[in-house]
Amino acid sequence: MMRQYELVDRVRRYNPATDEGLLDSAYVYAMKAHGSQVRASGDPYFSHPLEVAAILTDLKLDDATIVAALLHDTIEDTKATRAEISKKFGKDIATLVEGLTKIKKLDLVSKRAAQAENLRKLLLAIADDVRVLLVKLADRLHNMRTLKFVPEEKRNRIAEETLDIYAPLAGRMGMHDMREELEDLSFRQLQPDVFRSVEGRLAAIREKNAGLIKAIEEELTSELRLAGTKAKVRGREKRPYSIWRKMERKAVGFEQLSDLYGFRVVVATVADCYKVIGIVHTKWPFVPGRFKDYISTPKQNDYRSLHTTVVGPGRQRVELQIRTNDMEQVAEYGIAAHALYKDSDKSGGAEILPHDSNAYAWLRRTIEMLAEGSSPEEFLEHTKLELFHDQVFCFTPNGRLIALPRKATPIDFAYAVHTDVGNSAIGCKINGQVAPLVSELQTGDEVEIIRSDAKTPPAAWDAIVITGKARAAIRRATRSAVRKQYTGLGRKMVERAFAKASLPFSEDKLQAALPRLARPTSDDLFSSVGRGEIKPDDVLRAVDPEWRAERVTGAKAPKSEGGWFGLRRASSLKFRIPEKGKEEKSSAIPIRGINGELPVRFAPNGGAVPGDRIVGILNPGEGITIYPIHSPALKEFDDQPERWLDVRWDVEEAEPQRFPAQVGVTAKNEPGSLAQVASVIGEHGGNIDNIRMGSKSPDFTRMVIDVEVFDLKHLNAIIAQLRAKKVVSAAERVNG
């Protein structure tokens, strides 16, 4: 195990200004915290954070990162707390360690291949500081290096996760050595036979081509020197995983893979890079289609180089990467390169980033800060990961990851899980706490959707959700619910028409008449009737021409006492007030309320409440409007008898609903009289929706109150209580 002074030495080699005391106390703190814990290998647990710190010294990272590496498992696995770490090592380091603790919990999340991309983004969103990711990658690298000690059944899962998430992440951050090692370690675990065979072939070729790399290196170097260009040339063998990927991708055998060697040519300036490419292409034949200019068009992760493949010395195909020193830093260390202590670097590092890099704009901003003379520590501190700040990442209770735009609600979440889940959502829990469906979700939230049997979302959700998927699903569901309501209404209207005409109703007869009515299905027909596009007597005529003939020849109209709306005259209707309690339950359409199965709404300005005698007016395309039978508004429909519908209340006593009514009150002008009126209504269970003040005389004020009540009895009780008040001189129901 590395000793305390060895770690400090490693850091001091690249950072002479290191805070030795800080490193020492972190070393001691972590060692004590992990105490006698041991790793699967039998080594003391502390050897792990220490190795992770060592890996990060290779990347030449700052003190805070090294300390965070030493402490990275303490909050999760020991008695250490964030508060204690914050007190001892400062807020910055405590934040880093907490970020690592959060990511560690993610390792428990069940992974699916399709989620890998989301998980990578989640990592970035949670990490929030590039140093957290650097420690996490080093942590994973050490765990992969010691994978053979982990129980057999866990190894594949860890290796898959590494290959799916951490290796590509290292690649995106431009850390290619880290990426290749992670890939090879995973490859060896997941496909041991293939790995061994690739490695065996590589060894054989190595033997056959002994000295080749050296020979090519020398020849290249001398060619360039002849042309007056100073260059460092280094050759290397491709790694097993990248060879295997190439064989898979191109479906070729090992023998056909000619370019097993790659060479890097590092020069001083960008102009030199292009000069080298000219020399190389003149000297050796190049392979067409392999030249890539990543200097003028850098890769997403700011990687810059010229790539080419030539048929080099000994007829061997060789790949060349040509770049400057600065580009080499980025290529080797990626993001970590920007964290290097650049005491010898005159350029200040500001040049190494291309001016048009999008994803790394944040890095450029911080580089600018660095160029203005800030310390490397400050640079790292401000290197926040803002890449995915327009997204939130949440979980289902069983660990599925759902990515949503920022400001998304649990309703959006529910629809992202499944349309059925969205349609039946009635509530939610966020991190175990019941929360409103309109809450704004945060990254890391675990969201549980509470569902009911209902399948129709409130249409108002349309305005709340922010994802297109949720909005489209809500509109679809609302449309189909409305259609169902009209179909239900139309069916009732047609059935009643048949009953009143003494014709037996049957779907078969209806089916036969559909072509004549130009409707493809009986549901379409019912829906059209419900919407008022087809009259029920048109349906009767289509089904039974006999019945029609009877009507046309002026035969006696059916008896009207049954109240079949289509045949009654307005005059007879208007005065037909059924005796109390003797409504024709068989023929009248049952009205439950506004959330029922029919497209029903109540007349504005003092609608009807259960107990009132009611009439329905069919509004083509809008459903039925319910009026109390005494409503003056009904006069308007006198000459349109076909629009009148017999309706009756069908309210369940077990589930009382509220209905809007209006009460007019004349109250004395006294301080507090309005409050008294309001409290009488409240005390007797009425919901006040609105109060409008009307005419005011010196002594009295007239007001109209919108109140929601359960039924007529309830409304009358409230009116009686109002009349009993001294301040109230008159109170009565208003019917607009």
Residues with a catalytic annotation lie at 76-77
User: Bridge partners of 123?
Assistant: none
DSSP 725: S
Residue 394 and residue 441 in contact, taking contact as beta carbons nearer than 8 Å: yes
Distance CA 262, CA 243 (A): 12
Q: Residue 73, interface with Mn ion (CB under 5 A)? A: yes
Nearer to Mn ion, 63 or 139 (CB): 139
Residues near Mn ion (CB under 5 A), total: 2
Q: Residue 223, interface with Mn ion (CB under 5 A)? A: no
Site stretch for Mn ion (CB under 5 A), options 73-81, 170-178, 490-498, 539-547: 73-81
Rounded to the nearest 5°, which phi and psi values hold at 532? 85, 15
DSSP 577: -
Q: For the purposes of burial, counting CB atoms within 10 Å of the CB of 625, is it exposed (0-12), middle (13-18) or buried (19 or more)?
A: buried
DSSP 37: -
Q: How far is the CB of 116 from Mn ion (least distance, A)?
A: 21
Q: How far apart are the first and last CA of the chain?
A: 89
Q: How far is the CB of 76 from Mn ion (least distance, A)?
A: 9
Q: Which of 129, 41, 28, 131 is nearest to 80 (CA)?
A: 28
Torsion, CA 319, CA 325, CA 327, CA 331, rounded to 10: 60
Q: How far is the CB of 71 from Mn ion (least distance, A)?
A: 10
Q: How far is the CB of 135 from Mn ion (least distance, A)?
A: 9
Site for Mn ion in 83-142 (CB under 5 A): 139
Rounded to the nearest 5°, which phi and psi values hold at 318? -130, 140
Minimal CB distance residue for Mn ion: 139
Nearer to Mn ion, 151 or 285 (CB): 151
217 CB-near residues (< 8 Å, 6+ apart): 233, 234, 235, 263
Distance CA 126, CA 165 (A): 15
Distance CA 616, CA 590 (A): 10
Nearer to Mn ion, 136 or 492 (CB): 136
Distance CA 431, CA 559 (A): 65
Q: How far is the CB of 142 from Mn ion (least distance, A)?
A: 7
Nearer to Mn ion, 139 or 706 (CB): 139
Residue 698 and residue 669 in contact, taking contact as beta carbons nearer than 8 Å: yes
Q: Residue 184, interface with Mn ion (CB under 5 A)? A: no
Q: How far is the CB of 104 from Mn ion (least distance, A)?
A: 7
Distances (CA, A) of 596 to 360, 471, 583, 651: 55, 23, 20, 10
Three-state SS for 505-539 is: CCHHHHHHHHHHHCCCCHHHHHHHHHCCCCCHHHH
Three-state SS for 562-576 is: CCCHHHCCHHHHHCC
Distances (CA, A) of 492 to 288, 469, 527, 640: 77, 35, 11, 20
Distance CA 338, CA 376 (A): 9
Nearer to Mn ion, 66 or 279 (CB): 66
Three-state SS for 331-394 is: HHHHHHHHHCCCCCCCCCCHHHCCCCCCCCHHHHHHHHHHHCCCCHHHHHHHCECCCCCCEEEE
Distance CA 622, CA 599 (A): 7
Q: How far is the CB of 128 from Mn ion (least distance, A)?
A: 19
Nearer to Mn ion, 63 or 73 (CB): 73
Nearer to Mn ion, 146 or 396 (CB): 146
Nearer to Mn ion, 5 or 149 (CB): 149
Q: How far is the CB of 46 from Mn ion (least distance, A)?
A: 11
Residue 543 and residue 529 in contact, taking contact as beta carbons nearer than 8 Å: no
Distance CA 567, CA 728 (A): 47
Site stretch for Mn ion (CB under 5 A), options 70-78, 249-257, 458-466, 606-614: 70-78
Provide the mask over 405-444, with x wherever binding to Mn ion is found by CB under 5 A and - wherever it is not: ----------------------------------------
Q: How far is the CB of 446 from Mn ion (least distance, A)?
A: 23
Q: How far is the CB of 106 from Mn ion (least distance, A)?
A: 13
**DSSP percent split of the chain into helix, strand, coil, nearest 5:** 50, 15, 35
Q: How many CA atoms lie within 13 A of 388 on its CB side?
A: 22
Q: How far is the CB of 443 from Mn ion (least distance, A)?
A: 22
Residue 662 and residue 733 in contact, taking contact as beta carbons nearer than 8 Å: yes
**Residue 721 belongs to what H/E stretch?**
helix 712-723
Nearer to Mn ion, 123 or 539 (CB): 123
Nearer to Mn ion, 100 or 306 (CB): 100
Q: How far is the CB of 8 from Mn ion (least distance, A)?
A: 21
Nearer to Mn ion, 85 or 408 (CB): 85
Q: Which of 473, 439, 472, 478 is nearest to 459 (CA)?
A: 478
Nearer to Mn ion, 139 or 646 (CB): 139
Binding site for Mn ion (CB under 5 A): 73, 139
